[in-house]
Structure 1
Amino acid sequence: MRRRGSWEATMAQMDSGQSKRFSVGRVVAWTVAGLAVLLLAIAFSASPFFTVEQGEAGVVLRFGKVVNVASPGLNTKVPVMDRVQYMSTRIEKRVYDKVVSYSRDVQEASIRLSVNYHVPFDKIDEVYSRYGVNYPERVIDPVVPDRLKKVFGQYQAQTVVSDRVKLGQQIEDAIKASVPDGIVVDSVQFENIDFSANYTKAIEAAAQAEAEVRKSRYELERERVESEKRVVQAQAQAQQIRERAQAEADSIRLRGEAEARAIAAKARSFIDNPAYANLIAVERWNGVLPHTMLPGSALPFVPVPLGDTEPAAKPAAGSRAAGPAPAPTSAGAPPAPRPVQ
């Protein structure tokens, strides 16, 4: 029993010595790792070189004071004493979404606005000294919603859409005038406006009513034009009828005047030449004698003027006298032959 107890005591002492040695080893390992990290940090901070990316500027601080603004590329600093803060010189964009504003007629609107800005390289030290690296949160963010609400509140809700370009320009001018020197606001985009649901329904109803009014006005205008068209057509037709009637009247008048002149001419002919009546009678006679004549009535004939006729020439001496002239025959019958001597 004594031997067994002594052996257990010996084993316990050996385990205790091994645990102590293991604990010391762990402490040494952690100490070495910490020293290595510290040495790396010291070596890194002690490096006199640093780089600045394109579109950035490096603000060199010596014990917290701005001593230089490094341009893009490889630059130097005093180890341990200097540290570098990086600031962007690019055009940055900040979006302001769901900015609640009220119009002049107290209509609520949710507006989405974006602002593009940048800091010139020669203003980096001034902006950093006054506002630090987080200058957008300190300077731009408080200005944009405030100027937006003030300008938007000057407009009636129904004119916001029609004057959207003008509204956006006024908001941009107000923001530019309020941002301090050193920060350049390049542009402001008035991206979206959402009015309340009730106002949207009211606008839609008003738009529909206005459309109906425009439709009614169009129909009235069309009816007026059609009526004027019908009047013009009726006037044109009446004018045509009047012109035709006038032309017909003029034609009748001209024909009457021509006939009157012809009658007058004939009358003058009868007066100047009594034989003209006989000529008219001959022209109008069809050559047929009347079949029935009343006792004592005159036989219609055409008087032939006798005048002074010359006697027929006598045949020359010794020439053979011509026989008697053949007697007239009835129409269509050949003349009778002369007798042979």
Structure 2
Amino acid sequence: MSYFSIPFIVIGLFILISSFFIVKQQTAAIIERFGRFQSIRQSGLQIKIPLVDRIAGKLSLKIQQLDVIVETKTLDDVFVRLKVSVQYKVIREKVYDAFYKLDYPHDQITSYVFDVVRAEVPKMKLDDVFVKKDDIAIAVKSELNDAMIEYGYDIIKTLVTDIDPDAQVKAAMNRINASEREKIAAQYEGDAQRILIVEKAKAEAESKRLQGQGIADQRREIARGLEESVEVLNRVGINSQEASALIVVTQHYDTLQSLGEETNSNLILLPNAPQAGSNMLNEMVASFTASNQIGEAMKEAKKKNEK
């Protein structure tokens, strides 16, 4: 083998190797021959004619995403920025159209998104934009599908992923939301206070009722005890008036005794003279006597009137 044949061998090997190429999965390669479209090659090991065929380009068949930010104005004159995410892919059967009919698919998709959003959003108030964002996404998808299918692109899905109103509007909305929440909190607090007041009033009423019942029971027992005491005194020859007076005086001295047992008491019982007990007894006996005399006189007067 001469030294002159080595370059030809190297060139031959280079041409042979360059005739093979690999296309990755989910990718399509466009082959041109002398600048004219020749064929579309799918994934795997492929062969082309060296120096005649060339790879004009490759297109991904995977789903791709394009984020478009559109600024527009709502029906209530609020400027808002919408982020629209468009998911699309090249149709496998229309790789030729996707490669040769459209140079800049991103720019084309962006233009249609701008057109649809700026046609739909100005018809809505700001609150409706948040509520009907799915309607906006559907309108964008419908418009893009009709336009891009001709160029070999399939619009898989469109999403309105962000709605960003003007900063002053957002601050106002936050204040409104805070005020509404404070209003609701105040209503709950008011209801809680009202329930506490009502329950407290019910508890006090029940307490008063039980207290009154206790006092009534206490007085009933006192009256029964006095009645028994009077009966006992009547058995030993003391009439009812004297017995009642004696019981009152006894209770008076019992009260004085109980007050004396309290070392820190500031209560003063009036009258508190030594002769207070006897004076009280005399006054009670006199009042009972006067009462009996008045009763007898009234009976006599009634009998005379009847005659």
TM class, shorter-chain normalised?
A: 0.5 to 0.7
Task: Name 2:162's counterpart in structure 1.
Answer: 192
Q: TM-score, with normalisation over the residues of structure 1?
A: 0.49
Do the aligned partners of 1:111 and 1:192 also contact (CA within 8 Å) in 2?
yes
Do the aligned partners of 1:101 and 1:109 also contact (CA within 8 Å) in 2?
yes
Q: TM-score, with normalisation over the residues of structure 2?
A: 0.54
| Equivalent-residue separation in structure 1 for 2:129 and 2:212 (angstroms) | 61
Give per-residue Cα distances to partners, 1:31-65, cap 9 Å, x unaligned. xxxxx9xxx8xx86995433322332112234555
Task: Name 1:173's counterpart in structure 2.
Answer: 138
Task: Name 2:126's counterpart in structure 1.
Answer: 157
Give per-residue Cα distances to partners, 1:305-326, cap 9 Å, x unaligned. xxxxxxxxxxxxxxxxxxxxxx
Give per-residue Cα distances to partners, 1:276-297, cap 9 Å, x unaligned. xxxxxxxx9xxxxxxxxxxxxx
Task: Name 1:128's counterpart in structure 2.
Answer: 99
Unaligned runs of 5+ in 2: 1-6, 225-234, 236-307
Unaligned runs of 5+ in 1: 1-35, 256-283, 285-341
Amino acid in the other structure paired with 1:176: K
- Between structure 1 and structure 2, the one with the greater Rg is 1
1:62 to 1:171, Cα distance in 2 relative to 1, 3 A: farther
1:90 and 2:90 matched: no
Amino acid in the other structure paired with 1:104: L
| Equivalent-residue separation in structure 2 for 1:243 and 1:147 (angstroms) | 81
| Equivalent-residue separation in structure 2 for 1:245 and 1:57 (angstroms) | 102
**DSSP 3-state at the match of 1:54:** coil
| Equivalent-residue separation in structure 2 for 1:159 and 1:171 (angstroms) | 11
Moved more, 150-159 or 172-181: 150-159
**DSSP 3-state at the match of 1:109:** strand
Deviation (angstroms), 1:183: 2.1
More helix by share: 2
1:205 and 2:170 matched: no
Amino acid in the other structure paired with 1:195: P
**DSSP 3-state at the match of 2:62:** coil
- Aligned-pair identity (%): 21
> Within 5 Å, which residues of 2 pair with 1:1-341?
47-62=18-33, 65-84=36-55, 85-97=57-69, 99-132=70-103, 134-138=104-108, 140-158=109-127, 160-161=129-130, 163=131, 166-167=132-133, 169-179=134-144, 180-181=148-149, 182-234=152-204, 236-237=206-207, 240=210
